[in-house]
Amino acid sequence: MGDDRGKKAGDPAGGAGPILAIESSCDETACAVLDRSGAILSERVLSQQEHLPFGGVVPEIAARAHLAHLPVLAATALADAGVAAGDLGAVAASTGPGLIGGLIVGSHFAKGLALSLGVPFVAVNHLEAHALTARLPGLVPDGAPFPYLLLLVSGGHCQCVAVDGLGRYRRLGGTIDDAAGEAFDKVAKMLGLGWPGGPALERLARDGDPAVHPLPRPLLGRPGCDFSFSGLKTAVAQRIAALPRDAEGVIRRQDAADLAAAFQRSVSLVLADRVAHALAMMPDATLLVVAGGVAANAEIRANLLGLATERGIGFAAPPLRLCTDNAVMVGWAALERLRAGLAGRNGLDTPPRPRWPLDELAA
């Protein structure tokens, strides 16, 4: 796919050329090209539609879709950026955590390309990529210096993390059952909103009154910053079962909207409460960062901004397109590691991992 342009295979710093990044940890196939300063030269995200008939992600279908779409998407991202494959200085890919089939497809594609070009392959922890998104150039005025508090609400992950530095993460609290994103998807499914559920539920909630259905707010005010959403999900199911239905067994749209608004309000208040407790555990934090798919929810962002303002600290949330899974964050995390000399010399030997906790990353 091109010559090595004077680059030395195995050089952990790579060449001075741009980096191609790949994301395939779930149901988004994504590629991006960034230059060495972190400027985004191109980005492409393909949200797989193959899962719609099943109401959720089917791992085997996701892996096959990545395999079908990734080569074309990578070529398109390079063309958009005006970069030839032979001009790349490194290749990066999400290597975990996530669905193992998709991780194998994405990381092996990236490894093969890096090996053929004689440039470094950077194995990126998907959660670290979310955690570092706020440090992308231009997202936070004057940058996002360490340390900061991260609320990570991505898919099956819901945790408060002290980000002390690159590769230095302390988990202060996390979910003891369902994550916030899982709860959004499950409640949306109960309400017949289809998949993906989170955005559909937020749209419905705009027309609802959250005061109509008083719902529990699990762990609100309790010590620590753990989360629990299983009981809230059960309470919603009980409310749905008690709602009147038409002749076809469908609940009224207004009833569904009121319940969606009440659920969203409970989740947003619980997240803000738990983050407030986490801030008390991290008094040196001058910035609150929220990242992950649930961070795209407007009410949740507003509540967290209010909390940060009240505490006199900064607040950062990625633009909506960078909240959900994307390759820009993968490329930026790889660049941070390359700059710090933390990318490692044996990236090609890094296996994909379905589980890869943030606090296992060692500087």
349 is in an annotated binding site: no
Q: Do the Cβ atoms of 127 and 358 come closer than 8 Å?
A: yes
273 is in an annotated binding site: no
Residue 203 has what DSSP assignment?
A: H
106 is in an annotated binding site: no
41 is in an annotated binding site: no
2 is in an annotated binding site: no
Distance CA 314, CA 346 (A): 37
Distance CA 277, CA 297 (A): 21
3-state secondary structure of 125: strand
69 is in an annotated binding site: no
154 is in an annotated binding site: yes
Distance CA 261, CA 273 (A): 18
202 is in an annotated binding site: yes
Q: Do the Cβ atoms of 130 and 292 come closer than 8 Å?
A: yes
Nearest CA to 279 among 316, 318, 311, 314? Answer: 311
Q: The tokens of 65 are what?
A: 């879709």
**H or E element, residue 192:** none
47 is in an annotated binding site: no
326 is in an annotated binding site: no
155 is in an annotated binding site: yes
Would you say how long the chain is, in residues?
A: 363
3-state secondary structure of 19: strand
174 is in an annotated binding site: no
Q: Do the Cβ atoms of 67 and 167 come closer than 8 Å?
A: no
Specify binding-site residues for substrate.
Answer: 152-156, 185, 198, 202, 297
Specify binding-site residues.
Answer: 126, 130, 152-156, 185, 198, 202, 297, 325
Specify binding-site residues for Fe cation.
Answer: 126, 130, 325
